[in-house]
Structure 1
Amino acid sequence: MQDNQFDLTGKVAVVTGASRGLGQYLGRALARAGADLVITSRKLGDLTPFKEEIEALGRRALPLELDLRDEASIRAMAPKAIKHYGKIDVLVNNAGCNVRKPAVDITWEDWNLVLDTNLRGSFFVAQAFAPHMIANGYGRVINIGSVTSVFGYAGIGPYCASRGGIKQLTMSLADEWGVHGITVNCLAPGWFKTKQNAVLYENPEWVEYLKDRIPLKRPGQPNDLNGAIVFLASDASAYITGQTLLVDGGISTGAIRATTAKK
């Protein structure tokens, strides 16, 4: 057993949706822990700045095009990643999208966009890498959920459905692939500011409302995810599978005061 179980030197990790936001937070943490990366986006050119950033850290980064709503795109991406490095040790299913509307205004197309991307896409990306990991007898699959994997929020019904599905999918794949030495876990961030939700943070009243509900009294910062993603990608989590790890500042406790006094 290696002295530092959190060391990812020699490991190769795929991070989907790495052109912005959480995907870049997670990719940086894995690279700093020693991993080389495969980074994906729908538009290959969007990955150039992040590729250069990872290489400046002394790690390798292979940018690949990936559209989670296109089966052929998924089927083409996985072999390219495997061929380039010779192996894939870690998959971070991060790419996703959201539609913010009242439930009565959600269209058929809205529903399909979110569920096809967040849930169906994540499944088929995992499926594409599974035979390789099974053959190697090793793998770390990390599905990115959210606090909505366990909580419901108004105005984002399809998103909540997709993230709840990710939690259940994680448990199913963990049960099926554990015999092959593959762990499957869900990393569920709470409220982190990203390009996807940045408009919400422009409202000071909403930010104060959010902070009041979080026991740690602040939204998440990029570095708050570093330890969790490295842990789940590393040998330190070898006996953990099928779990959902919430990194949410405690908002999933319910965060509703039972008294009128603020602490």
Structure 2
Amino acid sequence: MADWIKRFSLTGKVALVTGATKGIGFDVCKVLADAGADIAAVGRDAAGLAEVKQAVEALGRKCVTIDADLASTEGPVAAARTALQSFGTIDILVNNAGIALIDNLLEASIEDWDKTMAVNLRAPFLLARELAPKMIAQRSGKIINISSQAGVVALDGHAAYSSSKGGLNMLTKTMTCEWAKHNIQSNAICPTVILTPMGEQVWGDPAKGKPMLDKLPLGRFGKPQEVADLVLYLASPASDLICGETILIDGGFTAL
């Protein structure tokens, strides 16, 4: 095996991926499995979990599916503990699950605000807190938080979503402050609009999507695999010096 392939290999590693049944999470599971990782796939959709399990096993890797409600306080903890029982340790945590409940500040409901914070910010904290002790004990680990361009620059109607993702970016930095000394690399990925089902729901209407598209110098929205490929890099030994970063994958949006 060529040296560069070894640097990107995940052979012998185990990754827990939330939001694994569709969009970015589904592609992350496939890409990490293709690189050699076994997968703990967390989601709510039974059919989607069965599909991702089939896709991972077709690549020759083990896949354990976990049904968990990440909006609750119990769901993330139970998911992490089930994964640890199944594999013994989790080497890579990909906090991908997220929701976007779009409304302006004057009309946003408390319920939508609380649910957004629970899924997008509290769940990553709870999962990381459950899995970090094993990573500390083995002196290695990768935590990859899927944040958003909207966590770096404000977007109309995205108050709860942007606040949750901005918080996730700072949580990532705090993880670095506390855990980098144990050889745990924590980073956040901040994509622009990615054409997942959620992306289509929010930005599929040309009246809303075209003004956003016009702000991207690259001239197009992203694809789930493009985010998954960056996850692979951050999960691999090739990125061991990268820690505490919020990495924009935004088609040049924030360059303007």
- For Structure 1 versus Structure 2, the TM-score category normalised by the shorter chain is over 0.9
5+ residue gaps, structure 1: 255-263
Aligned residue runs from structure 1 range 1-263, under 5 A: 4-254=6-256
Distance 1:78 1:245 in 2: 25
Distance 2:48 2:193 in 1: 24
> TM-score when scaled to structure 2?
0.94
Distance 2:238 2:134 in 1: 22
C-alpha distance after superposition, 1:206-235 (max 9, x if no partner): 433233211111100222223311110011
C-alpha distance after superposition, 1:177-224 (max 9, x if no partner): 011111110011111012223134442344332332111111002222
Taking only the aligned residue pairs, the percentage that are identical comes to 37
Which secondary structure does the structure 1 equivalent of 2:7 belong to?
Answer: coil
Q: RMSD across aligned C-alpha pairs, in angstroms? A: 1.7
C-alpha distance after superposition, 1:41-93 (max 9, x if no partner): 13445311111111112221110122222222222222221221222100001
Which secondary structure does the structure 1 equivalent of 2:10 belong to?
Answer: coil
Deviation larger for 92-101 or 74-83: 74-83
Deviation larger for 44-53 or 150-159: 44-53
Distance 2:190 2:215 in 1: 17
Distance 2:223 2:138 in 1: 35
Which secondary structure does the structure 1 equivalent of 2:74 belong to?
Answer: helix
Which secondary structure does the structure 1 equivalent of 2:214 belong to?
Answer: helix
Which secondary structure does the structure 2 equivalent of 1:196 belong to?
Answer: helix
Residue 258 of structure 1 corresponds to which residue in structure 2?
none
Amino acid of the residue matched to residue 213 of structure 1? Answer: K
C-alpha distance after superposition, 1:9-50 (max 9, x if no partner): 111100011111111122221112111100001344531111
Which secondary structure does the structure 2 equivalent of 1:15 belong to?
Answer: strand
State the shift of 1:140 in Å. Answer: 0.2
Structure with the greater alpha carbon radius of gyration: 1
Which secondary structure does the structure 1 equivalent of 2:6 belong to?
Answer: coil
Residue 261 of structure 1 corresponds to which residue in structure 2?
none
> TM-score when scaled to structure 1?
0.91
Distance 2:162 2:5 in 1: 40
Deviation larger for 48-57 or 36-45: 36-45
CA contact (8 A) 2:145 2:168 kept: yes
State the shift of 1:158 in Å. Answer: 0.2
CA contact (8 A) 1:44 1:64 kept: no
CA contact (8 A) 2:8 2:238 kept: yes
Distance 1:176 1:39 in 2: 27
5+ residue gaps, structure 2: none
Amino acid of the residue matched to residue 126 of structure 1? Answer: A
Distance 1:207 1:79 in 2: 40
